[in-house]
Amino acid sequence: MMVSAPDSGRLSADIPARALAWEWAPIVVGLLVLFVPTFWALFNGPWSSEDQAHGPVILLLSLWLLWRGWPAMMAASATRPGSKLGWPLLLIGLLAYILGRSQQINLFELLAFIAVLQAVLLIKQGGAALRMLWFPFFFMLFMIPLPGGLVSLLTMPMKMAVSFVVEHLLFWVGYPIARTGVILQIGQYQLLVADACAGLQTFLTLESLGLLYLNVVRHNSALRNIAIAILIIPISFTANVIRVISLTLITYYFGDAAGQGFLHGFAGMVLFMSALMLILALDTFLQWWVGRRDKPALDTARIA
């Protein structure tokens, strides 16, 4: 009987993979034990409301970004030692978790989640690994529910500005519309521009969408990246105006029930689709403009 010899190359590749899995398994289990109750409470609490519904999306996208960059990070930090700076950060994260969990402060629990993940990465792989994966951790900040007082303070000017623009645009095209503060009167209907329509969290969600686009696309042109990052703010404002206009017109033509029912959720999709289309249009324009600007320099180089 002939016995085939095992493939030594395959075994050498499998053994480190198994060792790596056993090394990280206790850490993953510990993180799940700590933070599954936190996210369960968020899914059944703040994240179930309309103005915080972006939280789970930000979490999933952040984890996807970590998974996407993990192989390159492991390859780059394989021969580098861990950093002792991770231990004080881990202590701070655990203290924040204890305080947030005991007092039911979502802000502290989510900050603890981010800090503990960073601490584990520092301890295991070192500072270079954390530098390579900085964006997913920064992106996670957008899922944190902000204090109500701060949201109310910053949201009111935004709602006023959106209401002002919507009133003047619709009046300019001939609709019977008037405004008192953040209340729009169109025909026989009154609409309150709520936080979920034009609030701070909505703006932050659209900001995160733009930053995610920049990270995924990764343009080589610094001009395009800087321009898009700056213009995300007016794009977010424009998308909010489009959403409120669509809700106002839905209510005007189909009644209050349609405006507050299924079509209200559809208007939320309009918000993100319009923001994404505006970002793509801006990026396309910048690509054309940068190419047109650089073309004379390329022609001169070819002639030389």
Interval 99-137: pLDDT, tens = 999 988 888 999 999 999 999 999 988 888 888 999 999
In this prediction, residue 113 carries a pLDDT of 95
**What would the mean pLDDT of 6-11 be, rounded to a whole number?**
42
Q: CA 267 to CA 228: how far, in whole Å?
A: 24
**Measuring CA to CA, which residue among 212, 36, 199 is closest to residue 135?**
212
In this prediction, residue 151 carries a pLDDT of 67
pLDDT at 2 over 50: no
Whether 179 sits among the annotated catalytic residues: the reply is no
In this prediction, residue 270 carries a pLDDT of 66
In this prediction, residue 303 carries a pLDDT of 54
CB atoms < 10 A from the CB of 30, how many? 12
pLDDT tens-digit readout, 148-203: 666 667 677 888 888 899 999 999 999 999 998 888 898 888 888 765 555 566 67
In this prediction, residue 66 carries a pLDDT of 92
Residue-level length of the chain: 304
Whether 197 sits among the annotated catalytic residues: the reply is yes
8 Å CB contact between 275 and 235 = yes
Q: Which tokens in the block code for residue 97?
A: 């978790």
**Measuring CA to CA, which residue among 85, 220, 247, 92 is closest to residue 166?**
247
Active-site hit among 131, 243, 292, 302: 243
Element (DSSP H or E) covering residue 304: none
In this prediction, residue 50 carries a pLDDT of 65
**C-alpha Rg value of the chain to the nearest Å:** 25
Q: CA 143 to CA 160: how far, in whole Å?
A: 25
Is the overall model pTM greater than 0.85, yes or no?
A: no
Of 83-87, 166-170, 177-181, 204-208, give the lowest mean pLDDT range: 204-208
Give the mean pLDDT of the chain.
Answer: 79
In this prediction, residue 12 carries a pLDDT of 39
In this prediction, residue 115 carries a pLDDT of 95
Q: CB-based burial of residue 126 (10 Å sphere; 0-12 exposed, 13-18 middle, 19+ buried)? A: buried
In this prediction, residue 110 carries a pLDDT of 94
Q: Is the dihedral of CA 66, 71, 73, 78 positive or negative?
A: positive
